[in-house]
A and B are shown apart, each in its own frame.
Chain A
Amino acid sequence: MDIIIKTATRIFFPIILMFGFYVALHGHLSAGGGFPAGAIMASAFLLLVIAFTEKEVENKFNEIKIEDIKSIASVSLLAIIIMEVVLRPDLLHTQTPLTLWSGGVTIYLNLFGSIVVASGLMIIIYSLIKEEWKSKKSTW
């Protein structure tokens, strides 16, 4: 792609990722939550895939890495859900409501849920864009 799009992607990619993490971490206080945050992070990856060529993307990400991240995040999600039964009453007594560290383990659930959704959407995007890369290698 063009040099303008590449430079803009280099600037905007960390900002979009940071906004996704903000939506995930602030999800229990304002509008948002795990799934919109995951969609925002996956849109950052979509911008990366559109702007750069196959080799440049595969240096940073590949499917096996993303699959590993997704597996680790989903195992952590399940572990938090199991721990929630034990931890939640104790945490709720000590935390003050309407601040960032409130809501017990909801903040961790939001964070890991957003990572799971983001890596899942990344795998879908990657699988679909790979056909495009195979079919006409010269343009992208």
Chain B
Amino acid sequence: MAKTGEEIRQLNEKIVGAGYFVDALRKEIGQVIVGQHHMLDRLLIGLLSNGHVLLEGVPGLAKTLTIKSLATAIQADFNRIQFTPDLLPADVIGTLIYNQQQNEFVVRRGPIFANFILADEINRAPAKVQSALLEAMQERQVTIGDHTYKLDDPFLVLATQNPLEQEGTYPLPEAQVDRFIMKVIVRYPEMQEEQLILRHNVQGERLPPIRPVVNIQEILDAKSLVRDIYLDEKVERYILDIVFATRYPGRYQLEKLTPLISYGASPRGSINLALAGKAQAFLNKRGFVIPEDIRSVIYDVLRHRIGLTYEAEAENIAAENIIDEVLKAVNVP
């Protein structure tokens, strides 16, 4: 929607006011989690842009603690589901249980009824369970028996995947992975950060409890402001150029990428790049999106949306390398 300069200025002021909680959240969670700023920012982007985040990282990188802390800091409900091969869809969404005293079936809601869901090791559960979760993520409602229940708002699913131990797992199909706004790679902490972690744990220092710094209503208000953030046509064009370059590299003098890409980013890629760009602008307390916002989220938004050929895999080329080349070729407005 076209906006005047004055409207954007007013929106900017609102965002500066409403976005106070971003720094407060970072500070509060920083007391418990050492490092992992990138992961926290991406969780906030997922929360503000109404998306879900797929986290990939080895165990022990404080993924659960970060999400739990975030839930506490925004006074939201949090549930963790450990995905296992014997998990059933009913274990996730809930089921009808027969009550002998009342002689009727009653609904037992599953752990999906919470604001924050941590779907731990999502690739360990069979396809039907993954599918039930992903359907709920997309539609934000579940049906148990004859009734359809709306899920809470905000509703953020954080699914984790362990890149190791792939034996006996059920990798998410491309169409399912595409439903996550971002795929975030959680990396090891820096040496100095790990030294701090070590001290906290070995010396038995008790971590301070997380205090709530923002309430759910404020988060919902922020989400509505994020939707209003101005996205200029030039930035839209920049997003489309990037996405199209992944589909048709030849049009952007990137012929060398053609044999490496089996499929480019989907239209959901363009949409999510714009949404994540808006959320990033919000985190930077801006009422409009600039190319920097797009570039800062591009790897997390597109890495799981670009299919690589066997040739690329044989040459150890990752989706990030493809994105690098695309960014070098597409002109910034």
Do A and B come together as binding partners?
Answer: no
Residues of A at under 8 Å CB distance from B?
Answer: none
Residues of B at under 8 Å CB distance from A?
Answer: none
